Homo-oligomer: A and B are copies of this chain.
Amino acid sequence: MTAEIICVGTEILLGNIVNTNAAYLSERLASLGISVFFETTVGDNPERLENVIRQGLERSDILILSGGLGPTKDDLTKEIATKACGQELVEDEEALRRLKEYFARSHRNMTENNLKQALVPEDCTVLYNENGTAPGMVIHAKEGKKVVLLPGPPNELLPMFHDQVEPIIKELSSEVLYSDVVKIDCMGESRVAAEIEDLIEKQTNPTVAPYAKLGEVHLRVTAKAVSEDEAKKLVTPITEELYRRFGHKIFTTKEDETLEDVVVDMLSKHHYTIAAAESCTAGMFTARLVNVAGASDVLNESFITYANEAKMKYLGVKEETLNTVGAVSEDTARQMAEGVARQAGSNVGVGITGLAGPGGETPEKKAGLVYIGVSVNGKTKVNKYQLNGNRQKVRETAVCRALTMVRYALVEEFL
């Protein structure tokens, strides 16, 4: 079964708001095993909206429309959708009763405009709105097709879709979807893709789809079956095969788990603490660890030592090192990592020093040059990276590399 999402609203086309409804609906539909092939955003224009609905009715089984159900003249979704389905609007008694009650409760006067919110297409299931005045509806269109109309505000749309629309869709569908998301943190997308070409080639059910994220590659392994258990049975052998190929390069297979979650979790399980000395990243590494709600178990303090003086004063980086090989060097990164672990009394120390650019370049040291030191109980490793991109990208990528280095060092430590 296929669905398509149609978001109605000129404010989306003007870029005033980010379309989070589409992402929410997409994810929910995917989890219900419904294929979404198109998402369209169209303004509050009767002709263009009608064309988009008619096109959708030709190519998809379910249309999900959001927005344009309000009381103003701009709000046309219900009128146009009813017309496109060849139906007429009729008054819904229960909708009218709820509307009157809503206004009485909030001590506001009901305008003529609001009355149109009690009109619904003749053959539909009305979805009553617990969080606003506009009811939603599922129009029963020709050939068993469904046209679902939802209010635009996310706090009205989300519960209405989840509580009232999902049960209707589940009844229409006989299949369930299950996914593992295999996340790899130290290979580029093209190298990962090259190593799984055979799996991608022969895929039908399950499918394997690679996505590149900053510093990570995600492989989504998805299967359809009659039940979640059956779908999982199809996914698991592929995930196991990916573990055989990538081993420790995989840091999780859980949709919601991040690289920092995994690092904080490893530290926490072994009662290890961590501290960082950050120069070019200036706090971004530590801020990412603190994304994790349980970070206080493993992190007490970190230092942002942007100036050379601060590197000497707090971390004991040697003046001679800074004067000879410079602040952006293997030696400095090593001394920062070891110095911060000593100063903070932590098991793990991380030192990050680099040239994010623009400016400050020399013939030997180009923008993007970053040294990262990771010291675990006095055993220190320093990596040199020449990273691509602008100032922000270099700094964000450096944080990813540092997290990966810490994860690897911990894998070895706890082996």
Q: Which residue of B lies closest to A40 (CB)?
A: B40
| Interface residue from B36, B45, B131, B210 paired with A37 (Cβ < 8 Å) | B45
Q: Which residue of B lies closest to A309 (CB)?
A: B300
Cβ of A111 within 8 Å of any chain B Cβ, yes or no, is yes
Query: Are A70's CB and B15's CB within 8 A?
Result: no
For A161, the chain B residues whose CB sits under 8 A away are none
Query: Are A289's CB and B296's CB within 8 A?
Result: no
Query: Are A105's CB and B296's CB within 8 A?
Result: no
CA distance A48 to B37 in the complex (A): 8
CA distance A71 to B155 in the complex (A): 39
Cβ of A26 within 8 Å of any chain B Cβ, yes or no, is yes
For A283, the chain B residues whose CB sits under 8 A away are 278, 282-287, 290, 302, 304
For A155, the chain B residues whose CB sits under 8 A away are 214, 389-390, 392-393, 396
Query: Are A307's CB and B302's CB within 8 A?
Result: no
- Count of residues in A whose CB is under 8 Å from the partner chain: 108
| Interface residue from B14, B113, B189, B285 paired with A27 (Cβ < 8 Å) | B14
Query: Are B41's CB and A106's CB within 8 A?
Result: no
Q: Quote the shortest CB–CB distance from A13 to chain B (angstroms).
A: 5
For A130, the chain B residues whose CB sits under 8 A away are 389-390
Digitize A284-303: 1 where CB-to-B-CB distance is under 8 Å, 0 elsewhere.
11110111010110011111
For A193, the chain B residues whose CB sits under 8 A away are 71-73, 113
For A293, the chain B residues whose CB sits under 8 A away are 357-359, 391
Q: Quote the shortest CB–CB distance from A10 to chain B (angstroms).
A: 6
Query: Are B48's CB and A42's CB within 8 A?
Result: no
Q: Quote the shortest CB–CB distance from A167 to chain B (angstroms).
A: 19
Cβ of A12 within 8 Å of any chain B Cβ, yes or no, is yes
| Interface residue from B11, B41, B105, B190 paired with A38 (Cβ < 8 Å) | B41
Query: Are A287's CB and B290's CB within 8 A?
Result: no
Cβ of A108 within 8 Å of any chain B Cβ, yes or no, is yes
For A388, the chain B residues whose CB sits under 8 A away are 102, 105-106, 131-132
For A362, the chain B residues whose CB sits under 8 A away are none
Query: Are B290's CB and A301's CB within 8 A?
Result: no
CA distance A69 to B285 in the complex (A): 30
| Interface residue from B39, B276, B281 paired with A13 (Cβ < 8 Å) | B39
Cβ of A240 within 8 Å of any chain B Cβ, yes or no, is no
For A1, the chain B residues whose CB sits under 8 A away are none
CA distance A209 to B14 in the complex (A): 10
Q: Which residue of B lies closest to A155 (CB)?
A: B393
For A170, the chain B residues whose CB sits under 8 A away are none
Summarize A's interface: helix, strand, loop or mixed: mixed
Query: Are A209's CB and B306's CB within 8 A?
Result: no
Given contacts A48-B38, A210-B74, contact A301 B306 (CB under 8 A): yes
CA distance A48 to B60 in the complex (A): 12
Cβ of A314 within 8 Å of any chain B Cβ, yes or no, is yes
Interface centre among A15, A29, A45, A132 (most CB of B within 10 A): A15
For A18, the chain B residues whose CB sits under 8 A away are 18-20, 23
Given contacts A37-B42, A389-B131, contact A30 B48 (CB under 8 A): no
Cβ of A237 within 8 Å of any chain B Cβ, yes or no, is no
For A189, the chain B residues whose CB sits under 8 A away are 70-72
For A396, the chain B residues whose CB sits under 8 A away are 155
Q: Which residue of B lies closest to A273 (CB)?
A: B307
Cβ of A386 within 8 Å of any chain B Cβ, yes or no, is yes
For A191, the chain B residues whose CB sits under 8 A away are 108-109, 111
A-B contact pairs, 25 of them (CB 8 A): A12-B22, A13-B26, A14-B26, A14-B209, A15-B26, A15-B211, A18-B23, A37-B45, A38-B41, A39-B40, A72-B189, A72-B210, A102-B388, A105-B386, A106-B386, A106-B387, A106-B388, A107-B386, A153-B212, A283-B284, A283-B286, A300-B306, A300-B309, A301-B313, A301-B314
Q: Besides A131-B389, A280-B290, 13 other CB < 8 A contacts?
A: A13-B37, A14-B27, A15-B26, A38-B41, A71-B190, A106-B387, A106-B388, A130-B390, A155-B396, A282-B302, A291-B392, A293-B391, A299-B307
